[in-house]
Structure 1
Amino acid sequence: MTFKAALLHFAVILIAALAGPRFAAAEPLQLVGFGDSLMAGYQLPQEDALPAQLQRQLAAQGHEVVITNAGVSGDTTSGGLSRVDWSVPDGTDGVILELGANDALRGIAPEQTEKNLEQIIIRLKERNIPIFFVGMLAPPNMGDDYARTFNAIYPRLAERYDLPLYPFVLDGVITERSLLLDDGMHPNTEGLKLMAERMLPLAGTWVAGIRGQSN
């Protein structure tokens, strides 16, 4: 090998070595949206569901992510606990955890809801999977005592396990009839778009933190 050829060979190796980490950093983060019908996109195409909406908005801010939709309509925290191990595959970089609405609608004891959510959090943390925690508020018809106990679950768990908390998944949507389906409970496409927009600042910070830890 001539000196010039050897120099060129070295330059190619050096460029590849320098570029490697940059290409690795550009790999999309693999996230999972784990929840109920509010995550699943009840009666809507998958491209309109919350994971897809949030993925597009994060991408517009320069965050390379893929958010897999693991929402199941009608799921309770008990159902989520029973499937979290197989619904969140190995290699997942982060989970958006949104559960509890159906517990409140069914009047499940808040203490049980909290235990289930805590076990889900513990299982994910045991796998070193970061969590973006999405809260829920009890419907008014459940009464003040129930609401007071239920609504305290999310901030308490967020503080206990040091999780970023988006306090109320339906914030700005549930009171706007034009943003809901005919059932008056589930968001339509525009409602989900607004939900993603409102989550975006906190979700973007969370994603950036995961990216920073992986570099």
Structure 2
Amino acid sequence: MRKMWISLVFICLGTVVRAEAVTIAALGDSLTQGYGLTQQDGFVPQLEKWLEERGAEVKLINAGVSGDTTAGGAARVAWTLTPEVDAMIVALGGNDLLRGIDPGVSKEHLREILDAARAADVDVLLVGMQAPGNYGPDFKADFDAMYPDLAATYGAVYAESFFEGLTEEQDDPAALRSFMQPDGIHPNADGVARIVEGLGPYVEALIARVAES
């Protein structure tokens, strides 16, 4: 049932009949997929539990693929957006950054993903990131700007970083390491819990938007 029905609440003789759960697909890379973690410790299961503990009726679909780029996400978004999907989290671009892919190319792939979501009448939470300075100031400026630019163009809910919940540790390498796996790239279970605390409110805003549609 499409999202227009989700916001319906029928009140009959004092009995409230609630609509079905909101189904959210999380389209991403290894951070979304839960690389190096047990299934229950991954981002999607922890986020679903966090939302349910706060009263949300929600079903999350893990559409994370380790190593995926924005091109990979664009290639598989059509079959990710099944009829049951009401909203989508898009967290891609980290592997583009690691490979030094032109931000203009990455932006076009993200645009393809957002176009597909718009065509399917699916609300989106777009999760951004910031490039380091080693690719040069022009690359960094273009990469950093593409997420807020696209979020504004498409009216998506926007979170500045997947690591929202670990911002306090960004300037303390020792503290940050305690939330990361040995590779220094992927969060451990405690790190995921902090990430969920940071991103959770944005997902709640996404759910509220679905309910209002």
Give the shorter-chain TM-score range: 0.7 to 0.9
Contact 1:94–1:131 at 8 Å: present in 2 too?
yes
Shift of 1:71: 0.1
Q: Which residue of 1 aligns with 2:101?
A: 108
Contact 2:89–2:127 at 8 Å: present in 1 too?
yes
Q: Which residue of 1 aligns with 2:184?
A: 184
Gapped regions of structure 1 (runs ≥ 5): 1-15
- Between the aligned partners of 2:35 and 2:81, the Cα distance in structure 1 is 20
- Counterpart secondary structure, 1:66: strand
- Between the aligned partners of 1:17 and 1:192, the Cα distance in structure 2 is 39
Shift of 1:92: 0.5
Contact 2:123–2:209 at 8 Å: present in 1 too?
no
Gapped regions of structure 2 (runs ≥ 5): 1-9, 171-175
CA pair 142-18 structure 1, distance change in 2 beyond 3 A? same
Which of the pair has the greater relative contact order for Cα pairs under 8 Å at 6+ separation?
2
Q: Which residue of 1 aligns with 2:205?
A: 205
The Cα offsets for residues 105-125 of structure 1, whole Å up to 9 and x where unpaired, read as: 100000000000001100110
Contact 1:138–1:147 at 8 Å: present in 2 too?
yes
The Cα offsets for residues 177-201 of structure 1, whole Å up to 9 and x where unpaired, read as: 1111100111111111111101122
Match of 1:38 among 22, 27, 31: 31
- Counterpart secondary structure, 1:152: helix
Contact 1:96–1:132 at 8 Å: present in 2 too?
yes
- Counterpart secondary structure, 1:63: coil
Contact 1:105–1:139 at 8 Å: present in 2 too?
no
Q: Could you list the runs of 4 or more consecutive aligned residues of structure 1 that deviate by over 6 angstroms after TM superposition? A: none
- Between the aligned partners of 2:104 and 2:137, the Cα distance in structure 1 is 16
Match of 1:118 among 102, 111, 118: 111
Contact 2:157–2:205 at 8 Å: present in 1 too?
no
- Between the aligned partners of 1:46 and 1:86, the Cα distance in structure 2 is 23
CA pair 204-121 structure 1, distance change in 2 beyond 3 A? same
Q: Which residue of 1 aligns with 2:5?
A: none
Contact 1:140–1:147 at 8 Å: present in 2 too?
yes
Shift of 1:64: 0.7
- Between the aligned partners of 2:150 and 2:40, the Cα distance in structure 1 is 31
Contact 2:163–2:198 at 8 Å: present in 1 too?
no
- Between the aligned partners of 1:151 and 1:113, the Cα distance in structure 2 is 11
1:99 matches 2:114: no
Residue-pair matches, total: 197
TM-score with structure 2 setting the length:
0.86
- Between the aligned partners of 2:89 and 2:117, the Cα distance in structure 1 is 11
- Between the aligned partners of 1:74 and 1:196, the Cα distance in structure 2 is 21
1:72 matches 2:89: no
Shift of 1:24: 4.0
The Cα offsets for residues 26-75 of structure 1, whole Å up to 9 and x where unpaired, read as: x2111111100110011112211111111111111111101110100000
- Counterpart secondary structure, 1:74: coil
Identity %: 36
- Between the aligned partners of 1:189 and 1:87, the Cα distance in structure 2 is 26
Shift of 1:94: 0.5
CA pair 141-186 structure 1, distance change in 2 beyond 3 A? farther
1:195 matches 2:195: yes
Q: Which amino acid aligns with 1:48?
A: D
Contact 2:128–2:147 at 8 Å: present in 1 too?
yes
1:23 matches 2:24: no
Q: Which amino acid aligns with 1:198?
A: G
Contact 2:81–2:120 at 8 Å: present in 1 too?
no
